Structures are given as structure tokens and as C-alpha cells.
Amino acid sequence: MIDRSFIGRSFPPLHVDVEAGQLRAFARATGQRDPIYWDEEAAKAAGYRALPAPLTFLFTLDQEREDRFYFINAMGIELGHVLHGEQAFTYGAPICAGDRVTLTCTCMDIYDKKGGAMEFVILKTQATNQLGEDLGGMTGTIVVRDPK
Amino acid sequence: MSIFAHDVTFAGVDVGDSLPAVTSKPISRTTLALFAGASGDHNPIHIDIDFAKAAGMPDVFAHGMLGMAYLGHLLTAWVPQRAVREFSTRFVAITQVHAVVTCTGRVVEKREGNLVALEIEAADQNGDVKLAGQALVELP
């Protein structure tokens, strides 16, 4: 059982730089066809100040930690038993290359189903940039399965 | 400039309209390795078959967020990214190696404030649904 006292707890805020090379690698790895995600000129012609981060990139920025399995380790979850259940994003100001983003992750809920055979962890992350602008956020549902 | 027309308007869409479908290339083990690196999701269950088997899975499988990135392509091929206000999905089933994922969507509601609600889905070559979600876009 995951310790329910994590509910309501926030993890230390993460400050992360958005790098153009990282955005290009993400575009390549996902088969992106729109050049605004890898070509600075195309991005500017589309009205962005620099390469924009794609819709799901906040999730990637949250991995830029010394321990990228931070909450999994903190909660004592077995990594091999983790499944991604749901993911939701809301959007504020665009995130672009060169930005410095601050992410704050809070555990919103932990509950179980099927008599404890599956546990669910709900994490909500809010993001702001170096100008203090609201970038929106994301909510993830992590499912921990019991392989037995 | 974007390669996409992005000329969709609130007045020009109707409930029931379909978005142009977007299909991925086959997801190879290389795809998963590159996505692990690029996305920062280093969970070995997606890239290390030994780890996957030890965890009780028959093979590695695709990151849920790879499928969600494909769903994102569906949206941003239809409207500029800044039009997207909300985007969510459930990861309904595991996406296997070699899957070819097709993303589809349709307009389910037009709301005040030029908002259009979409239902979106990613399915493999057998038609098995892997991701099922929603998006909210604001149109001119």
C-alpha cells in the first residue's frame, strides 16, 4: 500500500530550461511533420518567438530531474508495475525554446480498486515561466498493478 | 510557416465533422529508444525486454505519451497549437511494438466563446483502441 499521507503533499519545485535541441529531438522521435517544431524560421513565421514546445512537452520537462522517478521512488512504488492511466493538459501562454519553466507537482489523491490489487496516484503539476506567466498544467493518473 | 492550412473557423465546423486522420509509421524498437531519450521517460519497461519480462510483460511496449504525442499531431494538423485549450486522454490498452497508430477525431459540441469540443482516439492497425480522449479548441 502506498502511504496515503502523500495526498496533498507537493514535491520541491523544478526549474528547467527549454532547449531547442531537446525540442528538435522530440520532433524527430515522434515523426513530427510540421517544421514549426524544428525550424526556427518556420516557427517565427507562424508567430512564435522561438521553437514552440509541443502539446505534451510539459510531461517531458517534468522528467528533467536528478531522479526522474522521483515520486515513484519517494512512494516506494515498484517501477515495473507502473502503468500510465490518464493524462490531461490545460494550456496558458506558449512554452518556447529559451524559456525557464518552474513546475510544481502535488499529489492530489491516492486510492485503490479491486481490493487493493490496483492503486491509483493522481499528480497535478502547475507551470509558470521566467516572466511569471501561467503556462497551464497537467494532471496524470498513474496505475500501480499488482502482478499477483 | 506551418505546412498545414489551419483555416478552420468556428462558423465553418459542425457537430459530427471529422478531423483529417493522422497515421504514424510502424512503431519499432528504435522508435521506442529514441522516444525514451527525447521524451525523458526512461522507464526501462519500454526499452529493455529483460526488464519487461521480469515485470511480467511478454515484451516491451510503447510509452503512453508516444501515442499522446501522435494525438497531438492530429490536433495541430487541424488547428494551430495556440488554439488548443485542453487535451486529455485515457490510455485504454497497451500499444505493442510494430503497431501502426491512426489518430481520428470528431466535433462533438460547439460552445459559447467559439469553443469546439472534440472526441479523439488512437487505434492500431487492427482497429483496437489504444487511447481515447478529448480536446477543447478555440476557433476564430
Decide if pLDDT at A114 tops 90. no
Residue A116: CB atoms within 10 Å: 9
Q: Is residue B9 part of a domain?
A: no
| CATH number of the domain within which B67 lies | 3.10.129.10
Over residues B109-137, the pLDDT tens digits come to 999 999 999 999 999 999 999 999 999 99
Give the residue among B85, B73, B80 at the shortest CA–CA distance from B120. Answer: B73
* Cα–Cα distance, B105 to B18 (Å, whole number): 6
H or E segment and range at residue B85: strand B84-91
Residue B14 lies in a domain: no
Residue at B123 is within a domain: yes
Give the total number of structural domains in chain B: 1
Provide, for chain A, the percentages of residues in helix, strand and coil under a 3-state DSSP scheme, each rounded to the nearest 5.
25, 35, 40
A5-36 pLDDT tens trace: 999 999 999 999 999 999 999 999 999 999 99
Residue B13 clears pLDDT 90, i.e. is over it: yes
pLDDT of B1 reads 85
Q: CA of B72 to nearest chain A CA: how many angstroms apart?
A: 6
pLDDT above 80: residue A130: yes
Indicate yes or no: pTM above 0.90.
yes
Bridge partners of B137? B84, B116
pLDDT tens digits along B38-55: 999 999 999 999 999 999
pLDDT tens digits, one per residue of B64-123: 999 999 999 999 999 999 999 999 999 999 999 999 999 999 999 999 999 999 999 999
Residue B45 lies in a domain: no
Is residue A108's pLDDT more than 70?
yes
Q: Is B80 on the interface with A (CB under 8 A)?
A: yes
Chain A residues closer than 8 Å to B64 by CB: 83-84, 87
Domain containing B124: what range? 22-27+63-138
Question: Is there a domain that residue B131 lies in?
Answer: yes
B86 to A90: CB separation less than 8 angstroms, yes or no:
yes
Closest Cα in chain A, distance from residue B121 (Å): 13
CA distances to A105, A134, B102, B112 from B36, in Å: 21, 28, 21, 40
Instruction: Report yes or no on B15 lying in a domain.
Output: no
Is there a contact between A125 and A57 (Cβ–Cβ < 8 Å)? no
* DSSP character string of A8-36: TPBPPPEEEE--HHHHHHHHHHTT---GG
Query: How much is the ipTM here?
Result: 0.97
Which 35-74 residues of chain B touch chain A by CB within 8 A?
A: 35, 37-45, 51-52, 54-56, 63-66, 68-70, 72-73
Q: Confidence band (pLDDT; 50, 70, 90) for A147?
A: low
Is residue B54 assigned to a domain? Answer: no
Question: Could you give the count of Cα atoms lying within 13 Å of B44 in the half-sphere of its Cβ?
Answer: 11
Number of CB pairs, chain A paired with chain B, less than 8 A apart: 129
**H-type alpha helices, B40-91:** 49-54, 64-78
Residue A85 is nearest to which of B35, B87, B90, comparing CB atoms? B90
Domains, chain A, ranges and CATH? 4-145 (3.10.129.10)
